[in-house]
Structure 1
C-alpha cells in the first residue's frame, strides 16, 4: 500500500503462504552519474555528495556516498526476485546533507538540526518494456521540478537486465489478476486507500530511518511519489493531453473515413467501394479481414518500437510550459500559506476548470439519456416515430436481403459530395431533439 497502483512494484499478498514462485530475476547495475549540477557550496566552490537509492518490491538498496564529486562512480550491482513482470523499478539520486555538517560542541542540545537530503532526480523503468535476457546500458536524464521550473540536474548511467527461466510462466502471468483475491471480494474504497498509503509510507520511513546507512523521510516520499494525488494544474493539463493522445488513432481513422467519403482521393474511394462489395457478398470475411489488418499494422509498427526503457519526460509532464503562478500553487502546502487574495484567485480558477469538466460530463450523460429516451416514452411523438421506423425497417429487412440493404447504405454513405447536402442528416436532427434529464436538474 505504500505505492500508487500504476507505479506498483509488488502485487503479492501479505501472507507468505499465498506467494507464487518468482518468474524471473531483475539485475540492476548503478554505474555512475555525470555532469551533475552543484547543489551546495563547499570551500567556496560548488559540489555534491551524491548517493543513489533503488526500490523494487519490499527491498530498498542504497549505494555509498561519493563526497565532493560531480561525476560519482559507484559500480554497484543489486538483484531482486520478480513475481510479476508488469511492475516498476524506481531509482533516485540524492545529495547527502549530513556528511558536510559540522559536529559542533559535545553538548547534544547545541548541535545543529540535520538538514534533509536534497533530491536530484529519479528514473522509473517498467519491467514489461524490457526484452528478456537482454542487457540495457543507457544514460537517463535526472529531472527535478523546482519552484523556478523544471531543471536538468545531470545524467545517471544504469545497466538493467530482466532474466527468466521459463517464458511460459511470464506469458501466463499476463492472464492472472494483479491483486490478491480478497481485493476483489472486498474492495477497499478510494479514501481508505489514500489513508492506508500515507500510513504505509510512514511505517516504511520509520523502518528505513533505522537502517544502516539510514534513509530520511524525504527520500521515501520522493521515491514513492506521495504527492501525486494533490491538486496541480500542470498534472490536470498533462492528463488531458494524455486522454486526447489516446484517442489520436480513432481521430486518424475518422479523418481517413471522411477523406474516403468526400472523395479526396478517388482511387482510394474506388477501392473502398470494391472492398464494400466483397465484404457484403462474403460477410464471413469481415472479422478475419479486420483481424488480419490489425495484425499487419501491429507487425509493421514493430520496426518503430522503442529500443530501450524510457526516462522521465518533461514534455509529457507539461513541465516546460508551466508558468510561475502554477508552479507556486503546486509547491504550496495544505492548508495554503499564501495570502487570501491569491488563494481566492486560485480557487476561482479551479472552479472554472471544474465547470468545464462538469459540462463535459453533463454532455456525455445527455447523450446516454437520449439513447434511453428512444423507448422511455418521455417524448411520446419521438418514441412513436422510433417505433414506427423500427417496424418499417423490420418489414424491409424481411423482404429485401440484408446484403442489398448493406450495399445500398454503403453506396449512399460514400456518394460523391455533389450529391450530398451540407446540413445535418434527419437521423442526427431527430437524435438531438430527444429529451434528457438535464432540464430537471435544479
Structure 2
C-alpha cells in the first residue's frame, strides 16, 4: 500500500535537497509532468485522493523584543486542484487495486520566478497528494517539491521580451545605457586656480539593463572634455597664463596681467573605481502594511594609476571594466534572480563610484538579473560589439584600456531597519562581497 508522486525529469538534474530540477526558457518553457499513484493490496477506508499544486512565494518574520509580532504573506503564481477518483467496495471503503492521475503543470517563464531559499521565505513549486480518512484513521499525505530554474526575466522585468540566450544577439550592436552628469574637474587644495574650471562629463555606460547570473559583461568608464583646455604659457614672473579664446574667461575681461595657475593634471583618471552590485530583498506583509529589507552588496575595487605628469587633458580618458556576476545559489545569503510579487521584491542595481583626489562621483543604474539556462555551464560572451559613447575620449584608432575579467569576492557587514506600521523593530542583514584589482600604470 502506498501513495507516491512521480515527476518526470533528468535523474542527473537534482535540486539542493535532492528534488527533481527543471529548466525553463522562453523557447522551451518548463513543465511539471508525471503522475500520482495510489496502490493498495486490500480494501481500505478512505476517500478520493486530492492533489494540490501551488507555485508560490511565502515569507514570514517576527520582530524581536518582549512583544514580538509575526508577519506572514504568500503570493500564488499558480494553483491547481485535481481529484483522483477511486473505486469503492461500499461507501467509504476503497477497493483494492492501483490508481493513478496524470500531472501536467506548464510554467510560464514570463510570470513564474526561479525556486529559491531566502532568510525569511522561499519560492517553491509544490505538489501535495492527500488521501482523506475519517477519525480515528490518519490522512495519508505525501509532498513533492520541484526545483525550477527559469532563465527568462519574469514580469514586470520583461518589457523588451529579451531572449537572453538567443544566438542571433551575438552580432547585434548594443546601444549602451548611459549614466552621465556634468561635473568640473577636481582641483587639489594646494593648487592655485582662477576663473572657470574646464567643464567635463564623467560617463559610465553599460551595454544592457538585463544580465544573466554568472555572465561576463563590460562597463565603460570615460571622461569627456566638453571644451578644449586652455594652453598655459610662461609669464615674465615665471607663472602660467592662459592665452586664446578662454583667456577672457580665465584671466578676467580686459586683463592680461592676472595670474592663472593650472594644476599639472586635471584628474581625468580616478584613483579608485568601485563597482557594487546591490541586491535589495524586501519582505512584505499583506497590503504592504509592514516590510523588512535585506540588502546585500557585491563589490569590486579597481585601483587606478591616476593621471600622469604631462598627459594632455584634451585627450580625455576611457577604460573598460570586464565584470563577472556571481552565480545564483540556493543558500539564503547568495545572489538571487530579480523578481517582484505581493509578498516579495528582489531588485538589483549597479553602483559605480569614481574616487578622485578631491571628490567621489557616484553613479547608479537599476538592472535585472536572470538565472542561467544551465547553472555551471559557461555563458557565451554576448557583448562583442558595443557603440560606446565614451570612445570619443580617446584618439581615433586607439583602443581603451581594459581589465581582464574580474569576479566578486566576499566580506560581511550588518545593518538595516524594518519599515511599515512598526518601525525599526528588527535589524536586517547586509552582506558585502569585495575584491580589489590593481590596474597597470597607463
* Greater fraction strand: 2
Give yes or no for TM over 0.5.
no
Which TM-score bucket, shorter chain as reference? under 0.3
